[in-house]
Structure 1
């Protein structure tokens, strides 16, 4: 084997070893919810999201006689038998929670709902409706229950949730799960509570993560998955890859010419 061939072989071997070391991982750092001695006692009711300022709520009033609900459902007169479900949902009345935590309902006027759960708000509105409608029904949905997932996931972005009952793992699933380069032991959840940003770091490899008050998400939560050390090192290397390849090619060419 010539000198140039030896140098080429050494460089190739070095590259293979570098890739192997940069991509290696262990089961302990990759597998979710590994069995431990923790007791699983999470109850969704403990962490039900509360209505917040700037939330957009869809509120629909129902009754045995639909005619009596018309004043409380301003758009209901536009709905017909031929409406599609999507159109029907678009025409349902929505209310934005103002800076004081209030919504302004037809007939009922201002009502403070910030800090209430969805079910608590339903009970409150039903109680006030009792003076106008016998046995009224009330349905409330969040129109803007959004969660953002950033960092080392397959499809980062913001996602509108169909329900307020959503877990951290479900949100990560919507984002395509963590990539192989994501750190599972240190996932960050950023949540705003009473105007203040709270940051919690969660270890997805531990079973007791489901006991965290941040396991069930609230509206506008931001999830960030940081890259592992190998990815950080690779990004540093990547910025100079072309230079390194050019220098390596030049060296091999020089060695080849000198050893002819």
Structure 2
């Protein structure tokens, strides 16, 4: 009787040590609210565009940099600048304007990086001899969460990145990542949509080439089996000791019986 009681106590402790699945899942309220499903167009033509609050790195080169020292650079001898991207960058304001020396404010919201570069270069021609302008978006970021090797916030230095490349940046899915229920959350026309991805099907061959957009969120849910691995080390040790005690007591009781 005592042995059965001890076994039941050990079993109850083991079950209570498991973390319920609902406590480890993200975005449950969003999922229950029924976010609309978004299907990216096949062979999507993606062009990175400027939006308010972007940070743009603008470099200006000219054949005569001595005319405006500190503002322009020589194409053959570029200046080494050790400032961070944020310190060097120009912020696009809420109205969509960027402000540079000489030319003042220029509206760039909604333009591609190439269009922004050409717009700035044309305005600079009034003040600089044959300006060459480069523009890079320093605020292109992705949030990769859940069961991946290195979850976190990732800044993309290229003008485009695919879903498979983003997963690779985060160290691939962990052993506990649910390959069937990967989700991408994306703002489309001002509303959040979800893009479900099943990595176990052949459809992933097209999904993995899907182009990521700035501020996309990739979320990898844990498999249900993970909850049995969320037992604290101290509680696990206690359970092991209790189990050993049960085995020893059972042996002693059996030996003491006539």
Which TM-score tier does this pair reach, normalised by the shorter chain?
0.5 to 0.7
Give the CA deviation at 1:143. Answer: 1.8
**Equivalences for 1:20-35 in 2 at 5 Å?**
none
Matched, 1:124 2:119: yes
Flag the structure with higher helix content. Answer: 1
- Tell me if structure 2 keeps the 8 A contact 1:130–1:136: yes
Q: Tell me how many residue pairs correspond in the alignment.
A: 214
- Residue 123 (structure 1) shift: 2.3
Question: Is 2:252 aligned against 1:257?
Answer: yes
Of residues 217, 226, 229, the one that matches 2:221 is 226
* CA distance in structure 1 between the partners assigned to 2:97 and 2:244 by the alignment: 69
Runs of 4+ in 1 over 6 A off after TM superposition: 236-240
Helix, strand or coil for the counterpart of 1:191?
strand
Shift of 1:135: 4.2
Residue 74 in 1 paired to residue 71 in 2? Answer: yes
- 2:60 counterpart of 1:61: yes
Against the structure 1 CA distance between its residues 213 and 196, is the aligned structure 2 distance closer, same or farther, given a 3 Å change threshold? farther
Partner of 1:95: 90
d(CA) in 1 for partners of 2:78, 2:65: 17
- 1:67-119 deviation line (CA, Å, top 9, x unaligned): 45x38x63769xxx6965x6277698421011112111222222222222211
- The alignment's C-alpha RMSD in Å is 3.6
Contact 2:55-2:86 at 8 Å conserved across structures:
no
Residue segments in structure 2 that go unaligned for 5+ positions in a row: 1-40
Give the TM-score of the pair, scaled to structure 2. 0.67
> C-alpha displacement at 1:254, in angstroms?
1.7
User: What residue is the counterpart of 1:156 in the other structure?
Assistant: 151
After TM superposition, give the deviation of residue 200 of structure 1 in Å.
Answer: 2.1
Instruction: Give the whole-Å Cα distance in 2 for the aligned partners of 1:182 and 1:137.
Output: 47
Point out where structure 1 has 5 or more consecutive residues left out of the alignment. 1-39
**What TM-score results when the alignment is normalised by the length of structure 1?**
0.67
CA distance in 2, matches of 1:169, 1:234: 28
